[in-house]
Amino acid sequence: MIDLSRFRKLELTEAEVRRFLAEEEGPYYERKSLWDRSGPTPKVRDRSTVREEIAEYLAAFANADGGLLVLGVEDDGTPTGHKYPEEAILSFLKAPEEKVQAPLHPRMQIITIDGHELLLFEIESAPEAVHCKGKCPYRTGDQVMPLTQEAINGLKKTYQRVSFEQKPGPEFVDQDLDLELAKKVFSRTPFQDRTLEENFTRYGLAVRRNGKLIWRNAGMLLFGREEQFASYHPRAGVRIFKVEGTERKYGQAHNVVEHRVEGPLPLLIERARDYIRSQIRKSAKLHDLFFREMPEYPEFAWQEALINAVAHRDYAVTTREIEVEMYDDRMEVKSPGGLVEGITLERLRERRSNIHASRNPLLVRVLVDYGLMREEGEGIPRMMEEMETSFLHLPELELINGDFQVRLKNTPIFEVGSSEWVNFVKGLPITDRQRRVLIATGKGGFTNQDYQKLNQLDRDTAYQEIKTMLDAGIIETRGKTKGAKYFLSLTVTRIVTLILGRLPKLREFLAEKEFVSNADYRALFSLSRRQARDELKALCDKGYLTLIGERRGAKYQKGPAF
């Protein structure tokens, strides 16, 4: 039995460990198997490799916002333990001290789950960058990446310098807290069986000093009682402005209705979300390449803009709330405070999710575990993807007078043509970005610059994606390499002409009759039997018609793409 008395002690319950095993890996959690399964028979992994891995992952967590490493677990969360002797396990426990500069002292635990022994390491965020093998690993999402010492220390100094959430808050007593809200939030976290006080301290919302619970502002923002919330922070709410038209007017032409939402952050997010949803109109829109009754904006996109504003705003600014302005053609979400050091507009626009930096990591950790927001680094790339696949303009990200603003436009990037053309493009073996350009430009063609602008990509990526369509025979180029323009290939053009030229009249016919025969088709379009047969086959191949019967008894009914 290994003596853990010289190490800091971690005390997770079996139920809590099982909940972690069922979770996906993310910014705060990593699991690793201790078995090498590359050969015909599994064997324990090389000890030195495991020691290096422990050091690297814990250093990465320490350089970011802290986290938990669990060893003895497969990728799917199945516990499989190990077969190491005690001296090997002891060397693993010492790895954070011996392999990291400066030495780390994580909390550690050895626990048996389903008969398999697991090793647990939990480390807090370090005040300065730590090194491992001469590098500074950094945890972002579920990956470890190298960053410079200067970059990591810059992120940490920004947090230490401006963070409102970590500063001591008012001296709360139970009557100042919404304990029922706290119970509800923690019931959805891996630590749902802990007492409220244990969760308050585990999440860093409060610290115990001299037998007294000292609250941080983060705890107040999350769980302060609603009746007196404004006394804790006078501008922590959301102001929502519904504007009739595309610009504000004043005086007798006043066209703005204001709605204010306040309260502790979990309730604030839910209330603001519900109100905004009630104000969003629906119309026939193109989504997933189908015309459907859809909201003006993809739900994930506007919700992510709202939740990001609440989670990442600068709460040290007590003179301004978050503002949401809803115009006929756009929604603008403005949050007090600019971007934190290490994050730039360019990086966000290029969808680089390989680094995150939070002004409020204590708030974010609770909101992520509660399920109100996604893991850090995922939100804005996914927001862009949702707008992109709905054929709307990509979000516009701006810094205006020191505040961060997201603008979502509800007008399509182009005037959508016929549903036949859209459905045809949907059937092509290409990506959504490629479909986006074809639907936008149609037979008019496009340049590399057009492709870059529509998809917010660099020139080389645009070229590679255009080249795959060239290689597939979907488009062809005209003009010299520089300034070349791309058009639908002759083969594709013929198919498009067939579909767009035949379907409107065919729809009228099948609105009155259940089937169309070869003879009917010949009469409709003045074709020979062979021409009609070839076109009907092409329409069947594309899913517009379905063949019923054979030879002279053959007839055609509406297909799934009709």
Instruction: Give whole-number Cα distances, 472 to 2, 39, 205, 464, 536, in Å.
Output: 62, 40, 56, 13, 24
Residue 206: beta bridge partners? 215
Angle in degrees, CA 120, 125, 131, rounded to 5:
90
H helix intervals, 11-170: 14-22, 47-63, 86-98, 149-162
How confident is the model over 117-176, as pLDDT tens digits? 999 999 999 989 999 988 999 998 888 999 889 888 887 776 666 578 988 876 666 678
Q: How far is residue 41's CA from residue 122's CA, in Å, rounded to a whole number?
A: 31
* Full set of structural domains in the chain with CATH: 8-145 (3.30.950.30), 238-409 (3.30.565.60), 419-488 (1.10.10.10), 492-558 (1.10.10.10)
Tokens of 217: 């502002």
524: confidence class by pLDDT, cuts 50, 70, 90? confident
Q: Indicate the average pLDDT of the chain.
A: 86
Residue spans of beta strands (DSSP E) within 469-524: 475-478, 485-488
The DSSP letter of residue 216 is B
pLDDT band, very low/low/confident/very high, at 290 (cuts 50, 70, 90): very low
Overall pTM > 0.85? no
Give Cα 286 distance to the centre of its chain: 22
Pairing of strands 67-71, 29-32: parallel
pLDDT at position 174 is 66
Bigger pLDDT: 423 vs 559? 559
Q: Is the dihedral of CA 419, 425, 428, 430 positive or negative?
A: negative
Put residue 210 in one of left, alpha, beta given phi > 0 → left and psi -120 to 50 → alpha.
left
Mean pLDDT throughout 507-515? Answer: 90
Structure tokens at 359: 């002004």
The torsion of the CA quartet 220, 222, 225, 229, rounded to 10 degrees, works out to 70
Largest CA distance in the chain: 96
Helices (H), 333-431: 345-349, 361-370, 379-389, 419-426
Please check whether residue 562 is in contact with residue 544, taking contact to mean a CB–CB distance below 8 angstroms: yes
pLDDT digits (tens, 9 = 90+) for 441-481: 776 788 998 898 888 888 889 999 999 999 988 898 876 66
Q: How far apart are CA 308 and CA 378, in angstroms?
A: 11
